Structure 1
Amino acid sequence: MDKRLQQLLDKQDITDLIHAYCNAADRHDHKKLRALYHEDATDDHGSFFSGAAMAFIDQMPDIQAPMKILHHNVTTINIAVDGDYAEGEVYVLAFHQVQVDAGTADLLIGGRYLDRYEKRKDQWKFSHRTIVTDWARHVSPSEVSLDHPMVAGSHIGQPGPNDPSYGFFRLLQRGIH
């Protein structure tokens, strides 16, 4: 196969991996999230968490418990591939609505994922992910309003299997990559 074609296919597989991460995080789908990392992968969220990715995923239910809304949006993706190893700098806008003592607060983070990927057994997965925050906006109380008349009757997204997407898709199965 032409080297450029293989590189394009590898970049697409990695891009799909990045998007699957966002979906799994937003839906609190820890089974799917676990499948995106190699067993020996590491994750570095700064002083919040740094260590084995599987240990981080084990903590996710507690970390995400106060998060009423998670919404990751990937923008710029830069990927370099060298055989079965690749690196990526992925820009992300991540919105969080968090339950706090005083009600709810909004946190919008503009940042980047600094990733290392490895292709093992013909499948690309994360081998390391570092989170970099470039800016953040915190608003308390929350400015999110899902009860406005303009959204009345809308299907409202939510974490977990009660999200409308779980019952809708046949091909984009939840809980798997």
Structure 2
Amino acid sequence: MSDKEARLQELLDREEIRQLITVYCQASDRHDHEKLRTLYHEDAIDDHGAMFCGPAMEFIEKLPEIQAPMEILHHNVTTINLAFDGDYAEGEVYLLALHRAKTPDGPMDVLVGGRYFDKYAKRDGKWKFLHRAIVADWANIHSPSIIDLEHPFLEGAKIGKPGPSDPSYAFFRLIKRGA
């Protein structure tokens, strides 16, 4: 492979991993567990701290219970640093993740600024997560919640929801739930 072909392949690989990262955010926010399963290798590890650390497929199995109190999930990735070694890559991915969760005292907001420490592997021509760990750098917590989706400024706006009732599924033809 020439230097130009190798550089082009790395650009293609970078873009595939960026897509993997952003689809993870969409699938997480929409509680699309079927789609999440397609993003990890079968032997992958997911480390979400005290919430869960172990096989990614087991984490996804537990997500309905973990996400049950979540009224809003909103993951945003910013800086993406990737390094490659053939069919193996590592990534440090900065994120802002907003969670609005039901509690016995009413809804609370948790805005986390952190990073994903990722390991990726390309198998059968496809990049997927091999190991994903979340690192919290800061958190901003409001209890009770300060989110106001009833404010007149939002009147008439479509309001996002976790799950298949999110307005994106009625709007898009190409972006779908599941695989």
The TM-score range, normalised by the shorter chain, is over 0.9
Shift of 1:47: 2.3
- Percent identical across equivalent pairs? 62
Residue in 1 that maps onto 2:51: 48
CA–CA distance in structure 1, aligned partners of residues 50 and 107 of structure 2: 24
Residue in 1 that maps onto 2:73: 70
Residue in 1 that maps onto 2:169: 166
1:96 matches 2:95 = no
Deviations 1:13-47 (A, max 9, x none): 00000000000000000000011000110011122
CA–CA distance in structure 1, aligned partners of residues 18 and 48 of structure 2: 21
CA–CA distance in structure 2, aligned partners of residues 70 and 119 of structure 1: 29
Residue in 2 that maps onto 1:121: 124
Amino acid at match of 1:172: I
Secondary structure in 2 matching 1:103: coil
Shift of 1:167: 1.4
Secondary structure in 1 matching 2:61: helix
Amino acid at match of 1:4: R
Shift of 1:64: 0.3
Residue in 1 that maps onto 2:61: 58
Secondary structure in 1 matching 2:20: helix
CA–CA distance in structure 2, aligned partners of residues 28 and 46 of structure 1: 19
Residue in 2 that maps onto 1:35: 38
CA–CA distance in structure 1, aligned partners of residues 116 and 80 of structure 2: 10
Shift of 1:174: 1.9
What is the TM-score of this pair, normalised by structure 2? Answer: 0.96
Amino acid at match of 1:16: Q
CA–CA distance in structure 1, aligned partners of residues 154 and 101 of structure 2: 21
Residue in 2 that maps onto 1:86: 89
Structure 1 unmatched ranges of 5 or more:
none
What is the TM-score of this pair, normalised by structure 1? Answer: 0.97
Shift of 1:170: 1.4
Deviations 1:82-110 (A, max 9, x none): 11110000000000000000110000000
Q: Where in structure 1 do 4 or more consecutive aligned residues deviate above 4 Å?
A: none
* Aligned match for 1:147, one of 125, 150, 163: 150
* Aligned match for 2:8, one of 2, 5, 9: 5
Matched positions, count: 176
CA–CA distance in structure 2, aligned partners of residues 172 and 66 of structure 1: 26
